[in-house]
Amino acid sequence: MTATQGPSAGDGVIGTPDTSSTADTPVSGRDTVAEVVRQWRAVHPDLDTGPMEVIGRINRCAALFQQAEDAPLRRAGLTRPEFDLLGALRRTGHELTPSELARETFSSGAAVTKRLKQLTERGLVERRGDTRDRRVAHVRLTDAGRELVDGILPSQLAYENAVLSGLGPVELGDLAGLLGGLLAQLEGRLGALRA
């Protein structure tokens, strides 16, 4: 699929009304992605580097989060995927089957199986077989699991808040809104784009 290389959209996409010049440093300040984009432009001045400025930054932010954001989690001996699983059980408030956990957690069934094994051994979740359909299992938090999640969550949120404290409330709100719009589009339309 050869999409029309944004002819006019080319360099205008990002710098639209706000930033000062088109010559150097066309985008916001000094993060590493900006430098990367600058290098690419020097080598391929014809390409539309707009997407990089969004996707590259999202990927980089996510990578940094994974390294640092989860400090309170790791202190409790949990990885982020493990916490996501426990959190899914906590926030839905009821039992979930492994398949539902996989869907809720955006991970594969096999990964859920492995995590459940570990979490069961640690006494954080329990399993119960369905009486009608003996293929399915129902997983629920133990008291210890629920207490662990409830104990971690506030400090985790406080930590995330600190991580984001560089932006003001208005900017965070805007960012959340824009990301929500993007994500809604991605989730709705991405499966179909898998060309």
Choosing among DNA, a second copy, none, which partner's interface includes residue 71 (Cβ < 5 to 8 Å by kind)? a second copy
Print the binding letters for residues 109-148 with a second copy: x by CB under 8 A, - otherwise.
----------------------------------------
Least CB distance to a second copy at residue 112 (A) = 15
Least CB distance to DNA at residue 192 (A) = 18
What are the phi and psi torsion angles at 95 (to 5°)? Answer: -70, 155
Q: Facing residues of 126 across strands?
A: 140
Tell which residue, 77, 120, 75, 79, has the closest CA to residue 98: 120
Cα separation, 141 vs 101, whole angstroms: 12
Site for a second copy in 34-93 (CB under 8 A): 34, 36, 39-40, 42-44, 47-55, 57-66, 68-69, 71, 87, 90-93
Stretch that binds DNA, among 13-21, 35-43, 49-57, 94-102 (CB under 7 A): 94-102
Say if CB 3 and CB 193 are below 8 A apart: no
Say if CB 74 and CB 159 are below 8 A apart: no
The structure tokens listed for 133 are 């359909």
| Chain contacts with DNA (rule: CB under 7 A) | 79, 81, 97-100, 107-118, 127, 132-137
